[in-house]
């Protein structure tokens, strides 16, 4: 389908012709934005492969994309964003519900009509002389009743290319919208990239997302955090489901037993590496296959929780990824990949610090030749890769029911206090584990890096409604699911007194998975503490790690835990009356138990 000229003359008939559907409500909503934005052309992405190739070619010709060395990275390109548009901006992200209480204490809220007025003033006529791309998409397996569909409007070809890589785009989505009548409209306007007038707005009562003055990542790829978490979490709440910022992994033991392992971790806490983990050389017979690296949607099936992955690609952080830390990711993104804000070697390869230590000089993420290697790639530089490139993808990815979840992991980057692994004694205590996550901030969002902040279930930036009600939803789901997953908390990052990591991490984390599997099968003992069940180190599969280091990894510092609980309590109180009484009881039980040990 080619470009259509002068669409503003008759948008109603044009949209009906383009979309081939019989949904007057959707046509009306799209017509409103066409009239408001006044694009010169409209392109509907019904044939994603054709349009991806076309747009990549155009952007490469205009030097907006730099083709990488084909010998090492086939069909792959580097993109450099505006220097003021490099990460999610939480201060500009709004949950605009009719009732302010539905947004809660941790979300930015503005009354819907007021927020729309501000945004509409910014975007009116903003696509004059530009093309509007209409991108229909499905989140989740095409045939699953748990999947959802939507349409994103955008004026940015970089956004379109990324959407094609991370979502199921095209006619299937149009057909699904026709069949179900359910959809989300997501409007993205690049605008002037004015960082002082940037909005990522979620109108949760009307399934509408509008983003303006940004063209980067989760701010602009509205299928991702905006829909798959913020909007989807509201849908999940209303339908006894769960939309979570979690990875998921299908693990197979030497005797053929299958385990579904999910995990919620704030940025830089090991989530991607865990989702793509490989087994240590001495763990013959164990295997792991990826379902999701970032987001899962869960539903109840056969009295258990099952997870699907709403995404069709990775939008991963590049720094920290190399052949040692994540060899499977390296295999995935050596083709068909868009790299954003990495450095570039003089022979045309993407580069970030620690990727290749033999490099002496690179073009930094601004495009300038430099020997300042530590700052050459932006710390939040990314790779966008189709999930089909991943060599160890679980067959459950394509299954309409998804993967049965047997264990849920919570975790956050912490250098002290938190043991390597501990297990909740009950579902409610497990929910408290998730609510208590605190981790160091990273470059994935704007603001200071390295500050300890509360990030329950790794959802603080992504929950589309009141976080207290979200905790209650977790508790309620536990009552609805007969065969509940066991809940664990892990911390790969504990350090010794010299500042060195005690646990080797990376593939060695599989040994923790082995212990978790043994707990699921009731084959190993655990020691009860007020903060959960910890392994008996005499039976923990620690590899070559000595007894002294194991003792450090599982030491329970009760004064430190009391300090932790006292620091978390004000955050819980800030949530107000919506914080569940059942969770307060769990909190005070834990605190009383800790105090008795001091």
Identify which of 39, 43, 12 has the alpha carbon closest to the alpha carbon of residue 28.
12
Within 8 A by CB and 6+ apart from 117, the residues are none
What pLDDT shows up at residue 24?
78
**pLDDT (0 to 100) of residue 152:** 98
Q: Among this protein's residues, is 262 annotated catalytic?
A: no
The set of residues, in sequence order, having a beta carbon less than 8 Å from that of 377 and lying 6+ positions away, is 318, 319, 341, 342, 343, 351, 352, 353, 364, 365
pLDDT at residue 269, rounded to an integer: 86
Q: What is the pLDDT of residue 270?
A: 87
In which residue are the tokens 């295999």 written? 331
d(CA 424, CA 515): 14
Find the catalytic residue in 211, 269, 381, 518: 269
Give residue 22's pLDDT. Answer: 65
Give dist(CA 421, CA 533) in Å, integer. Answer: 9
Per-residue confidence in pLDDT tens, the chain, 598 aa: 344 334 444 554 555 455 545 677 888 888 899 999 999 989 999 999 999 999 999 999 999 999 999 999 999 999 999 999 998 889 999 999 999 999 999 999 999 999 999 999 999 999 999 999 999 999 999 999 999 999 999 999 999 999 999 999 999 999 999 889 999 999 999 999 999 999 999 999 999 999 999 999 899 999 999 999 999 999 999 999 999 999 999 999 999 999 999 999 998 788 999 999 999 999 999 999 999 999 999 999 999 999 999 999 999 999 989 998 899 999 999 999 999 999 999 999 999 998 988 999 999 999 999 999 999 999 999 999 999 999 999 999 999 999 999 999 999 999 999 999 999 999 999 999 999 999 876 554 555 666 788 999 999 999 999 999 999 999 999 999 999 999 999 999 999 999 999 999 999 999 999 999 999 999 888 999 999 999 999 989 998 899 999 999 999 999 999 999 999 999 999 999 999 999 999 999 999 999 999 9
**Hey, which residues does 310 pair with through a beta bridge?**
none
Rg for the chain (alpha carbons), in Å? Answer: 24
Cα separation of 262 and 325, whole Å? Answer: 20
Three-state SS letters, 307-344? EECCCCEEEEECCCCCCCCCHHHHHHCCECCEEECCEE
Per-residue pLDDT, 442: 58
Q: Helix 11-19 vs helix 24-37: angle between axes, to the nearest 10 degrees?
A: 130
Check: CB of residue 469 under 8 Å from CB of residue 237: yes
Farthest-apart Cα atoms in the chain, separation: 77
CB 550 within 8 A of CB 527: no
Q: What are the DSSP calls for 245-309, one per residue?
A: S-EEEEEE-TT--EEEEEEE--TTSSHHHHHT----TT-TT-EEEEEESS-EEEEEETTEEEEE-
DSSP 511-562: HHHHHHHHHHTT-S-EEEETTEEEE-GGG---TT--HHHHHHHT---HHHHH
Rounded Cα gap, residues 422 and 487, in angstroms: 9
Q: Which two tokens stand for residue 429?
A: 């205590």
């Amino acid at each position: 389908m080619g470009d259509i000229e002068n669409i503003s003359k008759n948008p109603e008939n044009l949209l009906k012709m383009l979309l081939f559907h019989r949904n007057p409500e959707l046509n009306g909503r799209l017509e409103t934005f066409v009239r408001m934005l006044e694009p010169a052309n409209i392109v509907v992405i019904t044939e994603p492969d054709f349009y991806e190739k076309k747009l990549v070619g155009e952007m490469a010709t205009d030097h907006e994309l730099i083709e990488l060395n084909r010998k090492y990275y086939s069909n792959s390109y580097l993109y450099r964003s505006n220097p003021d548009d490099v990460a999610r901006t939480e201060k500009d992200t709004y949950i605009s519900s009719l009732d302010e209480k539905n947004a809660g204490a941790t979300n930015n809220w503005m009354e819907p009509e007021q927020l729309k007025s501000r945004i509409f003033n910014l975007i009116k006529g903003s696509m004059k002389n530009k093309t509007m791309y209409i991108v229909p998409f499905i989140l989740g397996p095409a045939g699953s009743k748990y999947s959802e569909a939507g349409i994103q409007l955008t004026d940015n070809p970089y956004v379109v290319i990324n959407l094609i890589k991370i979502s199921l785009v095209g006619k299937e989505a149009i057909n699904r919208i026709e069949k179900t009548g359910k959809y989300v409209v997501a409007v993205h306007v690049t605008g002037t990239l004015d960082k002082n007038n940037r909005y990522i707005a979620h109108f949760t009562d009307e399934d509408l997302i509008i983003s303006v003055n940004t063209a980067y990542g989760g701010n602009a790829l509205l299928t991702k955090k905006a829909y798959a978490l913020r909007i989807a979490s509201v849908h999940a709440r209303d339908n006894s489901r769960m939309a979570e910022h979690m990875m998921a992994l299908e693990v197979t033991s030497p005797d053929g037993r299958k385990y579904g392992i999910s995990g919620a971790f704030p940025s830089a806490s090991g989530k991607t590496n865990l989702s793509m983990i490989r087994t240590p050389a001495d763990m013959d017979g164990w295997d792991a296959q990826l379902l999701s690296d970032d987001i899962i949607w869960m539903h109840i099936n056969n009295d258990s929780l099952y997870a699907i992955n709403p995404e069709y690609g990775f939008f991963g952080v590049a720094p920290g990824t190399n052949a040692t830390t994540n060899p499977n990711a390296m295999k995935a993104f050596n083709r068909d990949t868009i790299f954003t804000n990495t450095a570039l070697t003089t022979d045309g390869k993407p580069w970030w610090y620690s990727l290749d230590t033999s490099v002496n000089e690179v073009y930094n993420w601004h495009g300038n030749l430099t020997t300042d290697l530590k700052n050459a790639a932006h710390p939040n530089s990314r790779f966008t890769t189709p999930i089909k490139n991943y060599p160890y993808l679980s067959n459950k990815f394509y299954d309409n029911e998804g993967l049965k979840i047997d264990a849920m992991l919570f975790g956050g980057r912490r250098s002290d206090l938190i043991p390597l692994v501990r297990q909740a004694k009950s579902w409610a205590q497990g929910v408290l584990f998730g609510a208590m996550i605190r981790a160091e901030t990273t470059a994935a969002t704007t603001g200071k890096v390295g500050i300890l902040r509360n990030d329950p279930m790794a959802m603080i930036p992504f929950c589309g409604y009141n976080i207290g009600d979200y905790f209650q939803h977790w508790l309620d789901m536990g009552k609805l699911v007969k065969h509940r997953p066991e809940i664990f908390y892990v911390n790969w990052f504990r350090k010794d007194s010299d500042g060195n990591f005690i646990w080797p991490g990376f593939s060695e984390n599989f040994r923790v998975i082995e212990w978790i599997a043994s707990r699921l099968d009731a084959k190993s003992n655990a020691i009860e503490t007020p903060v959960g069940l910890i392994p008996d180190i005499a039976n923990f599969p620690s590899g070559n790690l000595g007894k002294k280091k194991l003792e450090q990894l599982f030491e329970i510092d009760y004064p430190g835990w009391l300090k932790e609980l006292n620091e978390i309590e004000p955050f819980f109180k800030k949530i107000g009356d919506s914080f569940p009484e059942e969770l307060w009881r769990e909190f005070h039980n834990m605190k009383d138990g800790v105090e008795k040990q001091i």
